[in-house]
C-alpha cells in the first residue's frame, strides 16, 4: 500500500496518462575474451562505427530509436553498455513523453525487439545474457496553470537531503533553473520541467498538457543488488516486471529517507509554529529560525552545508571559520529533527509567491500514486 497523506490545497495535479514505472534502464554485456574477441571486433566495426552518434552524448551511438550503445574498456574487461528506453523502442517518437507501466505489454515487446535486433546482426547477445546495471523509476505529474514548476524546483534545491548525496548542476544557467538533481554512485533523484526539456530538443512538438513535472529516481548497480536481494528476484526480466507492478510504492519508499518529507509553508508560519512551542529553550528556537533564514538566503542546501568548493578552498578557511562550520554540521541533525517534530520543512516559500502551503515531493508522489491505485481497484 502507498502511504496516505493529508490532502493539500486546491491546485490541480494528476498523474500524467496514469503512468508510473520505468523510464529507461541500462544493461552491460561482458565480452568473454579471448573467446569473443571476434564478436567484439565485429560489433565495433559493423555496428558501433557505422551508427550515428547521439547528439546529447557523443560517446554513444543510436542503434535504433530507444536503444543506444557504447563500448567500454574497464579493469574487468571489454563491455558493451546499452541504454534502453522501452516506450521509444516500442512506440517510436510518441513514446518520448510516456512511461512504461504495469498495464502495458511494452517490456515484453521491448525485449523481443532488443533480441531481434541482435539476432538480425548475427550475434549471441540477448537481454538475458546482459547484466542490469541501472534503472530509472519515473512518473510525470501534470499541474494546472497556477502551479510554478521553477518555483517548486527552487524549494527542492533548498530542501534538506541526505548528505551522502550531492546536488548536481547543469552547464547552462537557464537549464539549471529547470532541473533539480541530487545523486551519488548508488542512486539519484532528478526532478525537472519535462515540457521545457522536450521543447529544447523537439521545438515543433506539441503536447496535450501545459505544465508537466517529471520525477526520475535512478537506481545504480549497488542499489539494484540490494533491491534484488530484498525482493528475491535476480533475473532481469523478472525484476523489471516486479518494479513495474510496485513502482509507485517503491518511489515513495526510496525517496522518503533521502529528502525532507514535511510540507512547505511561509517564513511567518514557520516562526509562529516555533514560537508556540513552550517546551524548547530560547536558544533552540533561535537555531530553528536561523536555519530557515539561512536556507531562504541560499540557492541550495549544499551551498549552505558546504559553502566552499573542494578541499583547496576548505584549507584556505581560517581556524575560526572551520570551527564554525564543524559546529553547524554537528547541530544540523538535531535542528532538522526538531523541524520533523513540528511537521514542516525549514525551506520556506518565497515572499510574493502568493502561496501559504505546498506539499513535499514525497507527499505529491504518494498522493498521485494512491489515487491511481484507488481508481484501479474501483475498475
Q: Give the DSSP per-residue string, 72-134.
A: EEETTEEEEEEEE-HHHHHHGGGGTT--B-TTSSHHHHHHHHHHHHHHHTT----GGGSEEEE
Closest CA to 170 of 192, 155, 188: 192
Burial state string for 36-54 with b = 16 or more CB within 10 A and e = fewer than 16 = beebbeebeeebeeebeee
Tens digit of each residue's pLDDT (9 = 90 or more) over 30-56: 998 888 999 999 999 999 999 999 887
> Residue 235 has what pLDDT?
87
CB 198 within 8 A of CB 207: yes
Tens digit of each residue's pLDDT (9 = 90 or more) over 253-293: 999 999 999 999 999 999 999 998 888 889 999 999 999 99
Tell me the pLDDT of the chain (379 aa) as tens digits: 333 344 444 467 889 888 999 999 999 999 988 889 999 999 999 999 999 998 878 889 999 999 999 999 888 789 999 999 999 999 887 777 789 988 668 899 999 999 999 999 999 999 999 999 999 999 999 998 888 999 999 999 999 999 899 999 888 888 888 999 999 999 999 999 998 887 777 665 666 788 899 999 999 999 999 999 998 888 888 899 999 999 999 999 999 999 999 999 999 999 999 998 888 889 999 999 999 999 999 999 998 888 766 667 777 778 887 777 777 777 888 999 999 999 999 999 999 888 889 999 999 999 998 888 888 777 6
Amino acid at each position: 500500500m502507498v502511504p496516505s497523506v493529508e490532502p493539500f490545497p486546491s491546485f490541480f495535479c494528476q498523474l500524467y496518462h496514469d503512468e508510473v514505472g520505468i523510464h529507461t534502464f541500462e544493461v552491460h554485456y561482458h565480452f568473454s575474451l579471448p573467446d569473443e574477441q571476434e564478436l567484439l571486433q565485429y560489433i565495433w566495426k559493423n555496428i558501433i562505427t557505422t551508427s550515428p552518434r547521439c547528439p546529447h552524448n557523443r560517446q554513444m551511438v543510436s542503434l535504433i530509436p530507444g536503444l543506444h550503445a557504447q563500448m567500454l574498456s574497464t579493469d574487468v574487461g571489454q563491455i558493451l553498455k546499452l541504454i534502453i528506453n522501452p516506450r521509444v523502442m516500442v512506440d517510436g517518437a510518441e513514446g518520448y513523453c510516456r512511461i512504461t507501466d504495469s498495464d502495458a505489454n511494452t517490456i515484453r515487446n521491448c525485449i523481443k525487439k532488443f533480441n531481434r535486433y541482435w539476432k538480425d546482426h548475427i550475434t549471441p547477445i540477448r537481454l538475458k545474457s546482459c547484466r542490469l546495471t541501472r534503472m530509472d523509476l519515473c512518473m510525470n505529474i501534470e499541474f494546472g496553470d497556477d502551479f510554478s514548476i521553477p518555483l517548486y524546483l527552487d524549494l527542492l534545491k533548498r530542501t534538506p537531503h541526505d548528505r551522502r548525496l550531492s546536488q548536481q548542476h547543469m552547464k547552462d544557467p537557464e537549464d539549471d533553473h529547470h532541473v533539480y538533481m541530487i545523486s551519488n554512485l548508488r542512486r539519484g533523484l532528478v526532478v525537472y520541467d519535462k515540457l521545457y526539456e522536450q521543447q529544447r530538443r523537439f521545438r515543433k512538438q506539441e503536447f496535450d498538457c501545459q505544465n508537466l513535472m517529471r520525477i526520475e529516481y535512478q537506481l545504480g548497480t549497488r542499489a539494484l543488488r540490494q533491491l534484488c536481494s530484498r525482493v528475491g528476484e535476480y533475473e532481469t526480466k523478472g525484476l523489471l516486471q516486479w518494479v513495474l507492478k510496485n513502482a509507485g510504492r517503491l518511489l515513495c519508499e526510496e525517496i522518503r529517507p533521502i529528502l525532507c518529507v514535511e510540507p512547505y509553508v511561509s517564513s511567518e508560519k514557520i516562526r509562529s509554529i516555533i514560537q508556540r512551542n513552550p517546551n524548547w529553550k530560547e536558544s533552540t528556537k533561535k537555531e530553528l529560525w536561523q536555519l530557515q533564514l539561512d536556507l531562504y538566503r541560499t540557492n541550495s542546501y549544499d551551498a549552505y552545508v558546504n559553502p566552499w568548493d573542494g578541499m583547496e578552498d576548505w584549507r584556505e578557511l581560517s581556524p575560526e571559520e572551520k570551527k564554525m562550520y564543524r559546529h553547524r554540521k554537528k547541530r544540523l541533525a538535531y535542528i532538522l529533527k526538531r523541524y520533523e517534530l513540528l511537521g514542516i520543512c525549514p525551506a520556506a516559500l518565497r515572499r510574493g509567491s502568493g502561496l501559504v502551503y505546498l506539499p513535499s515531493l514525497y507527499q505529491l508522489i504518494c498522493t498521485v500514486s494512491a489515487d491511481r491505485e484507488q481508481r484501479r481497484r474501483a475498475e
